[in-house]
Amino acid sequence: MGNRYLVLPENLEGKADIVSYVADLYKRAGDSDSALRIGHTAIEDGNLTVRNGDIIVSESDDTVVLRILHGDIPEIRFFPLGSVTTHRASLFAVDFAPDPEDTDQSVVLTIETDVFPTVQDGGKLLLSETSAILSHQPDASGGEESYLWLNYGFNEIANYRGRWSDQLQADAHQGLYMGAFNATAGFSTWTHTYFTPFSTTMVPLANVGVSGGTLTWGLDSYSASQFTLRFGVSGGTKMVTFWNFRI
């Protein structure tokens, strides 16, 4: 007499066992539940959604404040709320090496325009496998780029692009203070007083020239407040250039 609950061993060949079957169902349920949550979860009074593979965080009025883009060049875009709506911050990673065999993984943090076509227009930090750059790169109509480039083509070489200020003192803790001025005729010494005393002593590296002749001169004194130069003759206008560093 047959048993309808009897399962012949040959009928189970190639079939998943009950434990594997239950585990697979559990995984599918978990994946489905997770996908549902990330697509419809509210964050306080905002929203977290997935759109075309991108993860988007927005305010309750659907104003986007953060977007994580998928693809070969992963990117995070930040849209801070405020009166300025023309720019955004962007953080992305890219491989700058032209040859796929020579990787140069890099991460870039930039300020750029938020209108098409998007262009770099502000500060930029670029960290790569072979170098590092701290830059301010305005739009072409806004001025020249200035940067400090570490490991500039050769190990330990640094390159600075830009210009130095002339007698501009930001505060008492400024590390470098440089400039140029003319010391008028009629003085055998000339004192240059800073706008405000520095927090510690400033040491000047100076140079003095005079038109149409030679001149003997020397550094007479220096401090956190001023420095004084002494000239061999009092006549003639002296051209003074200096580069002072704080110690």
**Long-range contacts of residues 164-170, Cβ cutoff 8 Å, at least 24 apart:** 169/194, 169/195, 169/196
Structure tokens at 218: 């020397």
Q: What is the pLDDT of residues 218-227, one digit of tens each?
A: 999 999 999 9
Asked if residue 212 has pLDDT above 80, the reply is: no
Cα(220)–Cα(19) distance, rounded to whole angstroms?
A: 91
Q: What is the pLDDT of residues 139-150, one digit of tens each?
A: 866 788 999 999
pLDDT at position 9, please?
58
Closest C-alpha among 221, 191, 216 to residue 203: 221
pLDDT mean across residues, the chain: 81
Strand order in the sheet with 226-231: 189-193, 226-231, 217-222
Cα(94)–Cα(105) distance, rounded to whole angstroms?
A: 6
Q: What is the pLDDT of residues 72-106, one digit of tens each?
A: 788 888 888 877 788 889 998 887 666 656 667 88
Look at the chain and count its residues. 247
Give residue 11's pLDDT band: very low, low, confident or very high (50, 70, 90).
Answer: low
Asked if residue 132 has pLDDT above 80, the reply is: yes
**Whole-prediction pTM value?**
0.66
Average pLDDT estimate for 112-131: 87
Structure tokens at 112: 């750029």
pLDDT at position 27, please?
66
